[in-house]
Structure 1
Amino acid sequence: MALQGTGMLIVATDIPAVEEEEFNRWYDREHVGERVGIPGFLSARRYIAVEASPKYISFYETEDFAVLSSPAYKQMLANQTPWSKAVMANFKNVQRQVARTTAGMGAGLGGAAAVIRLRPGDADAGKAREALKAVLAELATRDGTLAAHIMESDPELSKPLAEHKDAPKDAPEAKDWIVLVDTTSAAVAAAAAKAVASAALPGLTLIATGTYTLMWMLAKTEM
């Protein structure tokens, strides 16, 4: 869908099977609403993997990037609920990105999505961004592709939380760019991921692709 803000928090994780029911209950009954309720947060959406790792990924849209270092958000992080602390301690393979949404095209929220992780080098970020935008513009003309967005992580802020016991403190993905492509089906999402993965993108290294289906979304206007 067309995003309304320019900040994005992205959290991907696996969870042990024995903890999965409680994990989803916590996400759906406490965590999503708690985060969207923070001033400056606009929406949250949850996905589950069709063919991807980690299994779960969530996107939290904010009015702007500054919201993700705001006093209100920092206060929430410093005062996690007991339920949050207990569930987050079981996260595995956590990838947490605090990002700027630097480009977007199209409209609509699809039932499936492609998520592509790219790692920038030392080349001109502007040239890399323009090359990627050209690939996404072509994708946007294909049947079943609704919208596409580029999110560029901030290395200083893209770090695991204290509650993420299993996460390394200096993760290389802290500077990754995340591409999110909204589509009408998992098959279209897989084709979109393949198209980006096979494109010539100077200055960007492909790290991973994945296809997911949307579990649900909550907007601030619904609260």
Structure 2
Amino acid sequence: MTHAKTLQQHPDAPGELLIWTSVDPAYELDFNQWYDQEHMQERAAIQGFRWSRRYHSDTCARPYLALYQTDTLHVFTSEPYRLAFTKQTQWSERNFTHMRDTSRRVNAVTPLAGVGTGAAVALVCLQTLEQAQAAIELAQALIGAMDGVLAVRALCPDPVLSTPLPSEDVTTRKLEPFLVIETTSLLSAEAAKKWMADQLACPTERSHCFRLLWDLQSSELER
């Protein structure tokens, strides 16, 4: 994989949809069944999608994270995606009403260092594009310095494509970049999160670690 020296923010860059949410505890069972039995497959089957991944945190107030990577950002303006986004299933519509404090971001992806998918990720919430740019020089150093760190990528939200879901408070909404650090364990994710946050002077309480629930490759589905 080619690793960038500058942040990618153009529509030809790989895309990654991030959904980070909590859910009404009374409907959590249905929420998980919906994701596992319908929504992951539905999104992974859209033309141009590479994979869907689900994560969970035992310590974060917003414990559910879903990531979906696409060939380019253009996929999010394609007719297949438009149909999927504007014509949701009844099960999807029901679960959207039970989601709480949801962040929906459509991001341009910049691979910074390493390769692979880990058993856990650290999601480092940055405050500026300058911090994301600085992380380019730090990513390889992190992998070299710490066991269990596999890969680092930067996600930069597209302001036009990042349409909010109903449960997000748009009055406090900020489109800030993220780092996703792939690791072999939650222990490694915690250590990597702290290291990177310290290097970039980011408040560590704004970043969180998640364990992988499952990874669905689009190539595994019959379109």
Asked if these proteins are the same fold (TM beyond 0.5), I'd say yes
Root mean square deviation, CA, Å = 2.2
Q: 1:169 to 1:149 in 2, by over 3 A?
A: same
Listed as ranges, the gaps of 5+ residues in structure 1 are none
- Structure 1 residue identity aligned to 2:207: T
Q: After superposition, give the CA deviation of every residue in 1:155-183 in whole Å (9 maximum; x if it has no partner).
A: 2222323xx3x32234433x211111111
1: CA distance, partners of 2:200 / 2:65: 26
Query: Which residue matches 2:108?
Result: 100
C-alpha separation between the residues in 1 aligned to 2:112 and 2:192? 15
Amino acid at match of 1:119: Q
Instruction: State the match for 1:167 in structure 2.
Output: 168
- 1:175-190 equivalent positions in 2, closer than 5 A: 175-190=175-190
Contact 2:150–2:182 under 8 Å retained in 1:
yes
Aligned: 1:199 with 2:202 = no
Contact 1:145 1:182 (8 Å CA) reproduced: yes
- Deviation, 1:129, is 3.8
In structure 2, the partner of 1:216 is 214
Residue pair 1:9, 1:68 contacting (<8 A) in 2 also:
no
Q: Secondary structure at the match of 1:172?
A: coil
Deviation at 1:77, TM superposition (A): 1.1
Whole-angstrom distance in 2 between the partners of 1:63 and 1:171: 31
Which residue type is aligned with residue 151 of structure 1?
A: L
Aligned residue in 1 for 2:162: 158
Identity of aligned residues (%): 30
Aligned mates of 2:73, 2:171 — CA distance in 1: 22
TM-score using structure 2 length: 0.87
Task: Verify the 8 A CA contact 1:107 1:146 in the aligned structure 2.
Answer: yes
CA contact (8 A) 1:2 1:147 kept: no
The more displaced of 151-160 and 179-188 is 151-160
**Residue 147, structure 1, aligned to residue 172, structure 2:** no
**SS of the counterpart of 1:199?**
helix
Structure 1 residues 101-110 or 59-68, which shifts more? 101-110
d(CA) in 1 for partners of 2:138 and 2:112? 12
Query: How many residues are aligned here?
Result: 211
Partner of 1:74: 82
Inter-partner Cα distance in structure 2 for 1:128 and 1:13: 24
Deviation at 1:56, TM superposition (A): 0.3
The two structures have a TM-score, normalised by structure 1, of 0.87
Quickly say closer, same or farther: Cα 1:152–1:206, change in 2 above 3 A: farther
Q: Which runs of 5+ in 2 are unaligned?
A: 4-12
Segment drifting more, 127-136 vs 143-152? 127-136
C-alpha contact 2:197 2:203 (8 A) present in aligned 1: no
Q: 1:158 aligns to what SS in structure 2?
A: coil
Q: 1:11 aligns with which of 10, 14, 19?
A: 19
Contact 1:95 1:160 in 2 (8 A): yes
- Report the alpha carbon displacement of residue 53 of structure 1 after superposing the two structures with TM: 3.5
**Partners of 1:6 and 1:58 in 2: how far apart?**
17
Q: CA shift at 1:84, angstroms?
A: 0.5
Change (3 A) 1:169 1:99: same
Provide the rounded CA distance (Å) in 1 between the counterparts of 2:157 and 2:205. 14
Q: Is the 8 A contact 1:117 1:209 kept in 2?
A: yes
Which has a greater percent of strand? 1
1:33 maps to what in 2? 41
The secondary structure found in structure 2 opposite 1:160 is coil
* Pair 67,205 (structure 1): closer, same or farther in 2 beyond 3 Å: farther
The C-alpha deviation readout for 1:22-50, integer Å capped at 9, x for no partner, is 00000010001001111111101000003
